[in-house]
Structure 1
């Protein structure tokens, strides 16, 4: 069964928690509850919506006959599983009955939480069914397979063969890591795990909830650069999926731009994201609220891009940031096909294609940051080099036939 696929609404921080069987996910959930989290257990909700007397169970019986009921009139999960296991159409019919009810009930439980809550959704198959973008943050509990096998044998009396089959039926560690904003490694003691959960609560979850509720943007911080981080594209992909879920078809296009989008380029650890919209009027309406609810509040003020002709409003944009204290973001909302939108993509692709300009760009960024460390990488487009690079990039685009 699945957890919630609801849109990120309101100002309650929604955290997805998952991990393979035997990983210790339940121990993490219990510790988060001790810290004050509101826990929604997807398996428990899935059982609740098909309990005796519910319309969910009645619809299952209508679809699959009373062969799926036990002697007490409750759902016989083993019998139902035998019917749908090898029948794709039957499985989809079952999902069409249960999934909407699970989503609706999860939404009800989330809405009932206090406005300053951190709601943790414990969803075993979160990755397998693609729910990661529906949460503000995804936590994955990861444990070495031999340790998981030992725990399953000791705690559940499961045979090694059965445990291996159960593990193989779920997503592997690499797939879970790709969906994870946070990976909690649980190969040590319970005390070690509790320490990791406590640190996560204090340093990230609690301030994230506060920022989300207050619609407060996390500043990018100082201009410290890190060596090119090979995980930046994967981090961008998670952010983009979350933004796409929040905006739907209103986001005409979402792109990774800026320094972290150029492979091999050392940069300030801030992910720049560009969202293309039909008009700035759209960006000022419901889209601004949707982004804020998804963890990307509006940065106050008026924003334009450089280089731009004097008095031109076509270089205007809207700027959002991140409420997540551990993942600074600059989210540029620009009109599709506007000069600023095109320039961001052209600059990125030119730097990707030209190693010499990449080196010159990096040296300039370092010089500017050394001269004004409090500014970081924002606002440096006023330097004459960027005007020259604009012309070089335009020449490159013409010569190569580049298009956005």
Structure 2
């Protein structure tokens, strides 16, 4: 079975950039955020249950999850957050398993290992058990805030609320097998990804 590395990090840490750099080496990526968007788009398999649980207000005019409205709810109502996670996490995990299975049975797969991008990797045991190694993308918390505001347009208070809902930076670093520091420039980031790619390829490629 192909080896599975879990990539995680706090909001604004640069997970997408790091993921893109791994893809340049032909690494196959399974991204839980991509799957989450798929299951909550119009016609997505999570929409009916979300609608039944939360009502019309949380489905937009196109029939997709109203992500902005839902974000406001779940960060002010912990029970609502748990209800949403109870709907989404099993669906996302099931699709991750399908994609892992497809990778394992592919006769043309060139990827030396799988990279599973899961922002809530450490917060969700059912995800954590899918990976054999953990890679954390880290940066200063002030950098996280600035990047998230610039990228998403969220206000600073909302960003801090999201960060507070995630595992602490210190705990994330404690649990990591490897860490990529993303406070520098792109060249420095690229060098770290290159070194880790060689490390995974040489030591864990194809190992169950």
Range into which the TM-score falls when normalised by the shorter chain: 0.7 to 0.9
Tell me: CA distance 1:84–1:149, structure 2 relative to 1, closer, same or farther (3 Å).
Answer: closer
**Offset at residue 28 of structure 1 (A):** 0.8
Instruction: Report the aligned-residue RMSD.
Output: 2.4
Query: 1:190 aligned to 2:180?
Result: no
Partner Cα separation in structure 2 for residue 153 and residue 55 of structure 1: 30
The alignment status of 1:129 with 2:101, answered yes or no, reads no
Matches within 5 A, 1:272-351: 293=208
| Residues 35 and 161 (structure 1), Cα distance of their counterparts in 2 relative to 1, 3 Å cut | same
Q: Encode CA deviations 1:358-399: one digit per residue, 9 max, x unaligned.
A: xxxxxxxxxxxxxxxxxxxxxxxxxxxxxxxxxxxxxxxxxx
Q: Judging changes above 3 Å, is the alpha-carbon distance between structure 1 residues 84 and 41 closer, same or farther for their aligned structure 2 residues?
A: same
Q: Which residue of 2 aligns with 1:78?
A: 68
> Structure 1 residues 75 and 160, CA, compared in 2 at 3 Å: closer, same or farther?
closer
CA distance in 2, matches of 1:170, 1:93: 17
Partner of 2:85 in structure 1? 95
Task: Look up the match of 1:54.
Answer: 44
- Structure 1 segment 162-173 matched on structure 2, within 5 A: 162-173=158-169
CA contact (8 A) 1:19 1:141 kept: yes
1:87 positional shift: 4.5
Q: State the match for 2:177 in structure 1.
A: 181
Unaligned runs of at least 5 residues, structure 1 = 1-10, 213-292, 294-404
* CA–CA distance in structure 1, aligned partners of residues 201 and 33 of structure 2: 26
- Shift in Å at residue 103 of structure 1? 1.0
Describe the shift of the 1:55–1:185 C-alpha distance in structure 2 as closer, same or farther (beyond 3 A): closer
Distance of 2:70 and 2:20 partners within structure 1: 30
Describe the shift of the 1:57–1:150 C-alpha distance in structure 2 as closer, same or farther (beyond 3 A): closer
In structure 2, the CA distance between the partners of 1:183 and 1:78, relative to structure 1 (3 Å rule), is same
- Tell me how far 1:164 sits from its aligned partner: 3.5
Shift of 1:81: 4.2
| Higher relative contact order (CA closer than 8 Å, sequence separation 6+) | 2
Q: Is the 8 A contact 1:153 1:159 kept in 2?
A: yes
- 1:142 is matched with which residue? 138
Q: Are 1:104 and 2:100 matched, yes or no?
A: no
Residues 1:149 and 1:210: Cα distance change in structure 2 (over 3 Å): closer
Partner SS state of residue 176, structure 1: helix
The answer to whether structure 1 residue 34 and structure 2 residue 24 are counterparts is yes
* More helix per residue: 2
Report deviation, 1:153.
Answer: 4.5
If you compute each CA radius of gyration, which structure gives the higher value, 1 or 2? 1
Q: Which moved more, 1:65-74 or 1:25-34?
A: 65-74
C-alpha displacement at 1:12, in angstroms? 1.2
- What secondary structure, in the 3-state scheme, does the structure 1 residue paired with 2:205 have? helix
Extract unaligned runs of 5+ from structure 2: none
Whole-angstrom distance in 2 between the partners of 1:74 and 1:153: 24
